[in-house]
Chain A
C-alpha cells in the first residue's frame, strides 16, 4: 500500500478587483448590463425631474413674505408656494386653539416626557425596564394636569404628586447609577447605615424615602394652580400626538393580553377575546368614532357627560388594540411548538413561559409589523377630524378657509406631509435599529 497522503487546502486569494470597492459596486448594481444601465439612467432622470419641480415650487419660486394670498398670486402666480399663510397659521397647526399664553404648558409636558426617556439611552443605567414602565404608567398624570389644569381633588393631587415623585426618582436613579453604579434606593440604604440589614428593613427605608419625596411633591403640587383649558381648545399636532400616543401605549399591552386570551385553553376567555377582536376589526374606524361620539351618550346615565376627546381616544384605543392583538397572535403562532415543550420540560409555568420565552421572541419577529401598525394608527388619527376635533390635518384645512388666505390648501398640506413624514420616518428607522440591535444569529 502507498503512504497516507496529507491534504493541505489551497491558500486564499484576494477577490478580483472589479468585484469589490466602489467600481465593483457600481458595476454590480447600476451598470451590470445594457438594460440595467438604461434603467439606471431612466431612474436618475425621473428623480431629477420630480425633485427639480418640487424644489422650484417649494423653495426657488416660493414667496416668503406677503400679507395675503392675493399678493402671492400677483407675484408668482401658481408657479411657487405661498409660505406666509402657513407661517401665520403655524402655531395653530401645532397647538390648535390652545390659549397662546398657556402654550408653555404643552411644551413643558412634552419636555418632561423627553427628559423622562433620556435615561433609557444612558449607557450605564441599569433599571431601564422600570424607567420605561414608569414613563408609560405614571407620566400621564403629570402630563394631563399640565394640559388640562383646573381644580384638583385630593386624589388628583396625590396622583400628580406620585407622578412628580416618579420623575424625581427616575433621574436620581439615572444619575446615581451613572456615577456610583448603584440605584438611588441602594444609595439611600447605605446612607442610612442599613447596608447589612435584612431585606424587609431595606425595603422599608426605600419606601420611607420615596414617601418623604412624595410629601414634598404634594406640597409643591398644592401650590400650583393652572387654569383649566377645556379639551375643545386642544388641536393641531398636539392633539394628534395625544390621541396617537395614548392609542399606541394602550394598544400594545392590550393587544398582547387579547392575543394571549384568544389562544387560551379556557373557552370563555378565548370566546370573549375573539368576539372583541372580530367585532372591532370588522368595523371601519370612522364608524367606531361615530358610534362612540353619538351613541355612547345615549347609554350613559342622565347627567354623566363624557368628554368628546375622551370618547375619541377610547374608540381609537379599542380599535388599535383589536388590530394589535392579531399582529401579536401572528407572532405567537410563529414560535415553534418545541419552545413551549422545552420550557414545559424544564418546569416553567404558563406565565413564566409566556413572559420569558414566547413573548420576547414573538415581539421581536413582529417588530416591523408592530411599528407598521403604530405608524398606521398615527396617521389614522386624522379621522377624528370627522367628529369635529381639530387635529393637525383639520387645522391645515382651516388655513384655506381663512378669508386672508382663502384657497391656500396645497402649502399647508405640504407642510403637514413633511411633519407626518418626520414622525413616521423616525418611528420606522427606530424599528430598524431595534431589529439590528436584537439580532441573535438567526437573521441573515
Chain B
C-alpha cells in the first residue's frame, strides 16, 4: 500500500459487470482518497459512466466489492439509500425536476431525506445557489434557464445533501461552448475547496488543471492511470496515445 494517510473514501475491488452477455466492466480496481480529484476519460462505450453509476448503485454490478467510506455497498437494496445520501451525482442531461422551481429542486430532498425544516433547507439551498451564481433565478422553473445554468443548479442540488463525494457524469457534454466554461468554473472551485470528486469528462483542460489522477479506460478496462502531467506528456499505451491524439 502507498504511504498515503488520507482516509479512503471509495474503494472498488475486482468489479465486473455485464449487460446481458456484454462484459462492460472487467476487473476494475480503484481507490479514491479524501480530497482526491479523479478524472476518467476514454472513448464512448468504454464503461466510464457505468463505472461511476455502479458506485451509487444506479447500475448493479455482478462481481466484486464497492466500499464507500469503508462501508460495503449491499447489492440488493439494504444500505443503498444511505450510501446515495453521501454520494452526490451530476448528470449529462441535468435531470432537474421540471415541475418545481429551482429553489424547490434544492430543498425537496433535504426536507424529505434529512427531515430538515423548510426554513433551514431554504437557507442552505440559497447558500449553494449563490455559490453557483443562480441565486437570482431561484424562483424560476428549471426549463426557463439555459443549459449551463441548469447544470449549475444540478450541482447546487447535489451539494444540498452535504455529500462527501461528488460524481460527475459528462457534465458538460450537452452544453454549448460558451456554457461549458461556466460549469467548469464551478467544478474547479469545488475541487479547490477540497471536495472528493470523480469526473467522467472529455475536458482535458479541466483534467490538467485540477485532477490528481487521470484514468484512461477502453473496452471496460482501466488501461492506464497516472498523474495528469505524466499521462498527457507520455502515455504509455498505444491506445491512450491514439485517444489523446484525437481529443487534444
Contacts and interface: CB of A to CB of B under 8 A. Distances in A.
Interface of A: 336, 338-339, 341-349, 352, 356-357, 360-361, 364, 438, 440-442
Contacts of A356: 108, 112
12 contacts: A341-B95, A342-B95, A342-B154, A343-B97, A345-B89, A346-B157, A347-B81, A347-B84, A348-B112, A360-B100, A440-B99, A441-B98
A360 B99 CA distance: 7
A342 B91 contact: yes
A419 to B, nearest CB: 36
Q: B82, B84, B157 — which one has the most chain A CB atoms within 10 A of its CB?
A: B84
B143 A441 contact: yes
A346 B113 contact: yes
A266 to B, nearest CB: 13
Contact of A338 (B95, B142, B157): B95
A360 B143 CA distance: 16
A347 B109 contact: yes
B153 to A, nearest CB: 12
A344 B141 CA distance: 21
B104 to A, nearest CB: 10
B96 A342 contact: yes
Contact of B58 (A339, A344, A360): A344
B109 A339 contact: no
Query: Which secondary structure dominates chain A's binding surface?
Result: helix
A370 B82 CA distance: 37
Contacts of A342: 89, 91, 95-97, 154
Contacts of B130: none
Nearest to B143: A441
Contacts of A345: 56, 58, 84, 87-89, 91, 158
Contact of B113 (A338, A348, A357, A442): A348
A343 B158 CA distance: 10
B173 to A, nearest CB: 14
A442 B98 contact: yes
Given A348-B113, A361-B99, A441-B143, A341 B81 contact: no
Q: B81, B96, B158 — which one has the most chain A CB atoms within 10 A of its CB?
A: B81
A357 B97 contact: yes
Contacts of A352: 112-113
Nearest to B142: A441
B46 interface: no
A101 B157 CA distance: 63
B228 to A, nearest CB: 27
A372 B140 CA distance: 31
Nearest to B101: A440
Interface string B64-97: 0000000000000000011011011101010111
Contact of B97 (A339, A347, A438): A339
Q: 8 closest Cβ contacts across the A-B interface?
A: A342-B95, A338-B95, A345-B89, A441-B143, A347-B85, A440-B141, A441-B144, A346-B109
B161 interface: yes
A163 B45 CA distance: 61
A345 B161 CA distance: 10
Contact of B84 (A336, A346, A441): A346
Contacts of B161: 346-347
B76 to A, nearest CB: 12
A349 B81 contact: yes
Given A356-B108, A440-B98, A441-B141, A344 B91 contact: no
A125 to B, nearest CB: 19
B91 A338 contact: yes
B95 A339 contact: yes
Contacts of A344: 56, 58, 84
A438 B99 CA distance: 8
B101 to A, nearest CB: 8
Nearest to A365: B99
A342 to B, nearest CB: 4
A364 B99 contact: yes
A316 B86 CA distance: 49
Nearest to B140: A441
Q: B81, B82, B95, B161 — which one has the most chain A CB atoms within 10 A of its CB?
A: B95
A396 B157 CA distance: 60
A348 B58 CA distance: 12
Nearest to A360: B99
A263 to B, nearest CB: 18
A347 B116 CA distance: 14
